[in-house]
Amino acid sequence: MSSGTNRSGGIAGFSALVTGGGSGIGFGAAKLLVRHGAHVTICGRTEDKLRTAVTAFEAAAASGSGDGPRGTASYVVADVTVEEQIAEAVATAASERGRLDILFANAGGSHHMGPIAGADVGQVRATVDLNLIGTFLSIKHAAPLMAAGVGIGVDGAEPEGGSIIGMSSGAGHFPHRYLWAYGAAKAGIDMMCKYAAEELGSVGIRVNTVQPGLVDDELMAPITGGGPLLDDYLAETPISRVGTVDDIAEAVRFLAGPESSWISGENLAVDGGHHLRRGANYGLLFGE
């Protein structure tokens, strides 16, 4: 494997899979990867949402500068908790070039919020499955198609592996009251990605995670719209504003490309410094 990665080469021509790419941070990251010339496949469970997203990516690429790289977008319907479906999504993303260069394992969410005592075990298991198991299955099937020497590199060059980015959260790094099931699953993603980084580095695969703070997207709209919980977030965030989808997408783009070629095993907080203080108090949603 070469040590002389071309840091100015960008990601034009790279193949990428973004899970949960039909909305929110996944949508923003996929759109940016397409804009930078990657061939991006998004997956999710809702075909209408995926189809609308791909149309938006293509329109954005067509309206961009004619001088820069222009990527492509496609979709496949897949549930990341179903191994056969995520395996098919990975294979589809890699089919054009015979390899996968970028995986953003973004799909996630929370099925439980509240105290540990009395928690519904089904909701907790669903949260762990969606976040931790879904990310594990994505990595399991992506890694063999990323290893150095698999397929061909951009412009016929020898491929040097790939980049995997897992979606974590500040809740996985420090406690947010009553968000423990989601936070524990995200903490599992952070540690699993460290293990994967150690294991897969020898075949040129880098593995990192991003830990977003409070981001103004569809999922968090009930909080970012205002109220005591938003006030609590802002009071505990040194750069006291709500994050944007673009804030996270730019971090994903950096970790996906050759600019970060010697970064692996990192859990990158993108949260305005929230991790320097205490976690949000979701007890405020319960009148505490």
Distance CA 29, CA 85 (A): 22
**Which stretches does DSSP call E strand in the chain?**
15-19, 39-44, 72-77, 102-105, 162-167, 205-212, 267-270
Under 8 Å CB-to-CB from 85, ≥6 apart: which residues?
A: 77, 78, 79
Under 8 Å CB-to-CB from 161, ≥6 apart: which residues?
A: 1, 146, 147, 148, 200, 203, 204, 205, 206
Distance CA 69, CA 8 (A): 13
Cβ atoms 169, 182 nearer than 8 A: yes
Is 233 tagged catalytic? no
The one catalytic residue among 75, 182, 233, 282: 182
Q: Are strands 162-167 and 205-212 parallel, antiparallel or unpaired?
A: parallel
Distance CA 138, CA 130 (A): 11
Cβ atoms 203, 241 nearer than 8 A: no
Helices (H), 165-262: 180-200, 221-224, 228-235, 245-256
> Any idea which residues carry the catalytic annotation?
182
